[in-house]
Amino acid sequence: MAEQKRLSASPQQHRVLRRAWTHMRADRRRIVLALALSAAATLTTVAVPAVIGAGVDQILQDDRSGLLTAAGLLLALSVARLVLFRQSEIRLTAVGERVVRRLRELAVQRLSRAPLRFVEAHPSGDLLRRTTTEIADLATFVRGQLPDVLNVSGYLLFTLVLLLTQSWLLTLALLVVFVPAIVWVLRRFKKAAPPAFAAEAAAAGRMASTYQELVRAREMLLTSGGTGYWRERFGQDSETRYRAARRTQRTLFVISCSRIVQGLTTAVLLGAGGWLAAEDRISVGVVVVFVLATRQLFDSATQASNLVGQVQQTLTGLARLLDLLETTRTDEPEPAALPGPRTSAPASGQKPLGAGKSSTAPRGVLEADAVRYAYVDGVEVLHGLSLTVEAGERLGLVGPTGAGKTTLAKLLTGLYTPDSGSVRYDGVDLRVLPPGELRRRIVLVPQRVHMIAGSLLDNLALVPGEPGEAAVREALDRLGLTDWAERLAQGLHTPLGAGQGELSAGELQLVGLVRAALLDPAVLVLDEATADIDPATARKLETALDTLRTDRTLLVIAHRQSTIDRLPRVVRLDGGAVDSVLAPG
């Protein structure tokens, strides 16, 4: 089994902001401007205690003009503070939303291009949480808490600078009493918080995955009587989430110790400040500055303690998102749209794809050469299987359940990459083909065709290129399926999905076939297209297959004898290898 990258349930949070900076470089100027405005707004707040302290000294000296000057300066600071804070919040939110949008689009893009094996190896609930919930939490943080975090950080720094200029003795007393105690509290929190928040996020992902599986398998569970087991499993996941949340809350409780530190520091400053003022070593105004500034300092520390949990939760979610982006990163350029014909040189030893019309994929030979594949280490599904399908050939794949038919189909269509060996189309290894170009040439219609919430037209046109209604009607007519579509309640505009309407298993296969016809691939692979559907729909499907272009390669995995009898050549698989080649009469 080839090594498969896996996401970490609790990814490394070391230097997470530095790792995220690569996704912010496009907005670095906007970020710098927003930070500068935030710093300027914070400075206007820090200056207020100093102006008030100066005003107190003017009152004690009976200097009316100095008092008026201090009052005017306070008014100017208030207006500047209002304008600067407003501008900084607007710019911070705007640039933050741009970054979040870019991360959201990149996450969806990379996950959509990730190998099928990668997607199948992870719980869908965890992938869903990383690409939706945690990005939404990041956006909420950017809109609501990021301005507060920057303002608090700036205030703590600028206030210490201000206090040093007023009295180094009182500042020293503040640092000796306040800093060691608050650092101890924060270090305790920093040590306990990352594993606690990461464990809660991982537990939430597992619970979401279990719930999603429960909903998806509800019919099977009801018929088999397995609901009790699933309720028990969900209860266990819920209990794990509850215990993880309690651990997080105990971690947050450590921060509340900062209030005790604040009270002790205020008492020391008042005693020391009063003694220094009585000795005429500092003015009363300086004491006022320290009282007001440290009060705001403590308020900022309290606000920081409230924000630190949200910051840690956001950093945890950001680390999980970056883990997804880094794990799914490839060396290929991120495509903006479906790529056109391949122009780069093929790999050494391979011939280029044959030329063809821009609207029709070139036809060629499809080859599987000694391919091996395993879902679990040590348990191979395919054992060095080789198969050649000529251009335009119609071939059936048959065999018992577990013979490897669906696995081979996914290898032949490039959804899986073989652990060893190769799959080539027209002499080119599928691994070197860009995803868009691969889909122009080879398309799989799976046994389970997925639908989205929307009309029948929306679902039929769910292919690259966004074909319009005219193209869809043309494809339906070419396949002889116009009558089927028109018999629905509102024809092509019949609502489907999300509880609005349902199609039978056979009709879903018809939808998949129309999608494939709109792509006009060179190779079409149908996985159990006629299995478990009614005979009338099966005949309609088989008739539609007969109308496809005669030069198209058709590979059909089938159990229904009437479908097998229509195919000139049938390959039987058994035990992950070719057992025999048949030619039905």
Give the residue from 464, 415, 460, 461 showing the smallest Cα distance to 442. 415
- How is the chain split into domains, by residue range? 13-166, 366-582
Nearest-angstrom CA–CA distance, 580 and 574:
9
Phi-psi sector, 498: left (phi>0), alpha (psi -120 to 50), beta: left
Tokens of 114: 């990730």
Specify the residue for token string 């039929």. Answer: 460
Provide the b/e sequence for 201-215 (b: ≥16 CB within 10 Å).
bbbbbbbbbbeebbe
Backbone angles phi, psi at 387, to 5 degrees: -155, 135
Tokens of 399: 């065999």
pLDDT at residue 526 is higher than 60: yes
Chain centroid to CA 18: 19
The tens digit of pLDDT for each residue in 182-223 reads 778 777 777 788 788 888 888 888 888 888 777 777 767 666
Nearest-angstrom CA–CA distance, 168 and 159:
13
Phi-psi sector, 423: left (phi>0), alpha (psi -120 to 50), beta: beta
Instruction: Say what the pLDDT of residue 549 is.
Output: 58
Nearest-angstrom CA–CA distance, 478 and 471:
11
The tens digit of pLDDT for each residue in 216-258 reads 777 676 667 677 777 788 888 888 888 888 888 878 777 777 7
Give the residue from 468, 464, 462 showing the smallest Cα distance to 496. 462
**Mean pLDDT of the 315-343 span:** 65
Instruction: Say what the pLDDT of residue 360 is.
Output: 56
Cβ proximity of 364 and 522 under 8 Å: yes
The tens digit of pLDDT for each residue in 83-111 reads 988 888 888 888 888 888 888 888 888 88
| pTM for the model | 0.57
Give the residue from 31, 26, 7 showing the smallest Cα distance to 102. 26
Specify the residue for token string 């569970």. Answer: 221
Cβ proximity of 320 and 134 under 8 Å: yes
The tens digit of pLDDT for each residue in 269-323 reads 778 887 887 788 888 888 888 878 877 777 776 677 667 777 777 888 888 888 8
Q: Topology of 366-582 in CATH? A: Rossmann fold (3.40.50)
Provide the b/e sequence for 308-340 (b: ≥16 CB within 10 Å).
bbbbbbbbbbbbbbbbbbebbeeeeeeeeeebe
Instruction: Say what the pLDDT of residue 160 is.
Output: 83
pLDDT at residue 337 is higher than 50: no
Residue 453: DSSP 8-state: S
Q: Topology of 13-166 in CATH? A: ABC transporter transmembrane region fold (1.20.1560)
Question: Is residue 431 very low, low, confident or very high in pLDDT (cuts 50, 70, 90)?
Answer: confident
Residue 369: DSSP 8-state: E
Give the residue from 234, 303, 294, 242 showing the smallest Cα distance to 264. 294
* Strand ranges of the sheet holding 379-389, from the earlier edge strand across to the other edge: 379-389, 366-376, 420-425, 428-429
Nearest-angstrom CA–CA distance, 531 and 523:
21
**Mean pLDDT value across the chain:** 78
Tokens of 36: 């500068």
Give the residue from 452, 432, 573 showing the smallest Cα distance to 511. 452
Instruction: Say what the pLDDT of residue 331 is.
Output: 57
How many Cβ atoms from other residues are within 10 Å of residue 459's Cβ?
24
Cβ proximity of 493 and 412 under 8 Å: no
Any idea which of 168-172, 193-197, 349-353 has the lowest mean pLDDT? 349-353
Residues in CB range of 15: below 8 A, 6 or more apart: none
Interhelix angle for 227-255 vs 168-216, to 10°? 180
**Mean pLDDT of the 331-335 span:** 53
Three-state SS at 342: coil
Give the containing element (helix H, strand E) for 535.
Answer: helix 535-546
Question: Is residue 499 very low, low, confident or very high in pLDDT (cuts 50, 70, 90)?
Answer: low
pLDDT at residue 423 is higher than 90: yes
How many helical (H) and strand (E) elements, i.e. helices and strands, does the chain have?
20, 12
The tens digit of pLDDT for each residue in 366-412 reads 999 999 998 877 788 888 899 999 888 888 888 888 888 888 988 99
The tens digit of pLDDT for each residue in 354-366 reads 333 344 566 789 9
Question: Is residue 16 very low, low, confident or very high in pLDDT (cuts 50, 70, 90)?
Answer: confident
Instruction: Say what the pLDDT of residue 538 is.
Output: 67
Backbone angles phi, psi at 397, to 5 degrees: -115, 120
Give the containing element (helix H, strand E) for 577.
Answer: strand 577-582
Nearest-angstrom CA–CA distance, 451 and 200:
33
Q: Measuring CA to CA, how many Å separate 385 from each of 381, 475, 539?
A: 10, 35, 32
Tokens of 41: 């707004």
Any idea which of 15-19, 160-164, 306-310, 472-476 has the lowest mean pLDDT? 306-310
